[in-house]
Each structure stands twice: as structure tokens, then as C-alpha cells.
Amino acid sequence: MKRIINNIKNKLALVSSIFLCLLLLGTSALAQDSTSAKVKAKPEKNTFGSVWLIDNQTVMVPIKGTFEMDILHRFGTIDKGYEDLWGLFAPSNIRLGFSYVPIKNLNVGFGLTKSNMLWDGSLKYAIFTQTKGLIPVSLTYYVNGAYDSRKEPSIYDGSALKYDVERFSFFHQLLIARKVNDKLSIQLAPSLSWQNAVSGYYTKNDSTGQEIFKTMKNAHLALAVSGRYKLTNVTAITASYDQPLTTHPSYNPNPNLSCGFEFNTSSHSFQVFVTNYSLLNQQRNNLFNTNNPLKYTDAVTNEEVKGGKFLIGFNITRLFNF
């Protein structure tokens, strides 16, 4: 009897030990699953390598306390070939920009562009970030206002601006991006551009209430599609296409097609590319782009040439953390 009781005790002890081990393993597994879930719930990082992708902003907003300096440069068009070294010796356009992130997800910036001596101020806010299993895309809102500071400003057809308010233009854009995998990121960005002054003529005096005919509309809608594919940890291929959506009575802008390479470090980004855009301000690029990516008219022969009018450009960004 004593032996039977001892056997039962031993079996109970063995069963208890096994149950305890299973309980501990189950608790450990649950903890691992919880940890894994927390890891999966973290927002995606580095959807793009810079706040810029050629001529467009990206959904990226640097971390709080980041100061950024941008140098954007566009050479002349390459259609003259060796005459001006494919645009490298032609008149160029440059923008110097500075921005700071005072609070999480908000970027505040300003800049000056050589063309039209255009001052601009901007705000950029990351509304939400792609999170695996929770949020499929990142969404950021970008807005800027620009002021033509030339002594005697005029619009695209040469008409002089009479009032200071006519010097202003504005730009609104929603940036929607998805990091498809560790190599590929894509972005869709609808935008609204607004120019306070556009050219036009009057059928009768404005005070009579008669209709005013304009050669362009003040508001312009467009859509940008951009992508980035990483070749290595520091090198990527970039591409972008900007399509005008608004049809104007005349002076309709051309779409933009661009592609190039990007090189990144922890605090630098260098992009070199070919593009049709040359004005270095989003609303002016969308409203007034005269370079067609598919064809152009030769200035000497007046014949239509296939291949489009492109120019070489580069962007340099430098980050400082405080």
C-alpha cells in the first residue's frame, strides 16, 4: 500500500511538473506574441530617403528638433546639345531652403528661389503613418504660400502686376504613400495651386457686371505619382510623373516626367535626375510648365522634335539635430 501511495505521489509530482512547465512555456509564448504584436504595430520608418523626391515633397517629416538646409538646382534644357554643354552652361535656377521641426510631425520651412526672386513659407504635417496590420498608408498634408519680390513683377504673358496682393500664390497637397516592401515605396499626391493674378481681357468695364474672360484660371488641379526603389542601403532609383487636371482657355501647362538616382547617408541626401520642371516652386511648376516631355518645337527650324524638352537637376539636403 505504501508503495502504491508513493507511486501515486510520484506521478502527481510528475504531472504537476509537466503542467507547470507547460504553463511557463505558454506564458512565455504569450509574452513573445505580445512583444511581436507591439513590434508589428510600430509605424514604418524611412518610406523615402528625403523630404524631397525630385520636384515633389514626400510624406516624410524629420524627427522633432531637426533643422534642414536644402539646395535645389536646375540647369538649362538639354536640347541645344554641345552648344551650351547640354544645358550645364545655360542660365540656371536655384532655390535655397531651410526648415525646422518644432514639434512631432510638424515641419515649418521657408526659402528663396532665383526665378522671380520668389520667397516661400511652408507647413507640412504628418497626419498618420503606415503601420503594419493597422494603417495601410501614410498621409501628410503640405501647404505653402509664395511672394514675388521683384521690383517690377509681371505674370507669364508679360502683363505687369499692379497690386501687392497679385504677387501671392498658394499650394495645397495631400501626400499619400505606401512602403510596399524594404525596397519599393510609392506615393500619390493630388494638389491645388492658386495664383492670385492671371492674364485676361474684359468684354466691358468690370463695374457693369459683365463677364471677365481669362486666358488662365486662378485655380489649378494636378496629380503627382512618385516612386523610389532601393538598389542598396544608400542608393535608389527615383521617378515621378505630374499630370495637370485643369483645362484652361489657353496657356495650358505641360505634364512633367522625371527620373534619376538618390544617394543617402544618415544626415545627407543627394539626388541627380532629368526633369521637365524648372521653376522650383510647386504651384508655378504646375501652372506654368512649358517643357513638354514628349515633343517640342525647334527654335531654329520651327519643326516639331520628338523626345521632349528635359533639363538636368540636383537636390542636396543636410540635416542637423538639436
Of the candidates 234, 266, 228, the one whose C-alpha atom is nearest the C-alpha of residue 62 is 266
**Given a cut of 80, is residue 296 above it in pLDDT?**
no
Cell of 58: 514626400
Domain at 251, CATH number? 2.40.160.40
The dihedral sign for the CA sequence 131, 132, 134, 140? positive
Higher pLDDT, 314 or 37: 314
Residue 33, domain member (yes or no): no
Of the candidates 71, 73, 49, 72, the one whose C-alpha atom is nearest the C-alpha of residue 228 is 49
Q: Give me the helices (H) in 125-249, please.
A: none
Higher pLDDT, 276 or 18: 276
- For the chain, how many structural domains are there in total? 1
Residue 296, domain member (yes or no): yes
What pLDDT digit, counting tens, does each position of 43-79 carry?
Answer: 999 999 999 999 999 999 999 999 999 999 999 999 8
**Given a cut of 70, is residue 169 above it in pLDDT?**
yes
| Cα radius of gyration (the chain) | 28
Residue 6, domain member (yes or no): no
Mean per-residue pLDDT of the chain: 86
Per-residue model confidence (pLDDT) at position 301: 67
Residue 144, domain member (yes or no): yes
Please report, to the nearest 10 degrees, the dihedral formed by the alpha carbons of residues 26, 28, 30, 33 taken in order: -130
Residue 172, domain member (yes or no): yes
Q: Where residue 207 falls among pLDDT bands split at 50, 70, 90?
A: low
**Given a cut of 80, is residue 110 above it in pLDDT?**
yes
What pLDDT digit, counting tens, does each position of 7-46 carry?
Answer: 444 544 443 454 334 333 343 433 444 444 445 578 999 9
Domain extent, residue 195, equals 44-321
Per-residue model confidence (pLDDT) at position 303: 72
Residue 304, domain member (yes or no): yes
Please report, to the nearest 10 degrees, the dihedral formed by the alpha carbons of residues 271, 296, 304, 198 taken in order: 170
Residue 29, domain member (yes or no): no
Q: Give me the helices (H) in 1-145, please.
A: 2-40
Strands (E), the chain: 52-53, 56-57, 66-77, 93-103, 106-113, 118-128, 138-148, 168-179, 184-195, 200-202, 212-214, 219-230, 235-244, 256-264, 268-275, 295-297, 304-306, 311-321
Higher pLDDT, 169 or 213: 169
What pLDDT digit, counting tens, does each position of 233-258 carry?
Answer: 999 999 999 999 999 988 899 999 99
Per-residue model confidence (pLDDT) at position 112: 98
**Given a cut of 50, is residue 228 above it in pLDDT?**
yes
Q: Give me the helices (H) in the chain, please.
A: 2-40, 282-288
Residue 38, domain member (yes or no): no
Cell of 194: 492658386
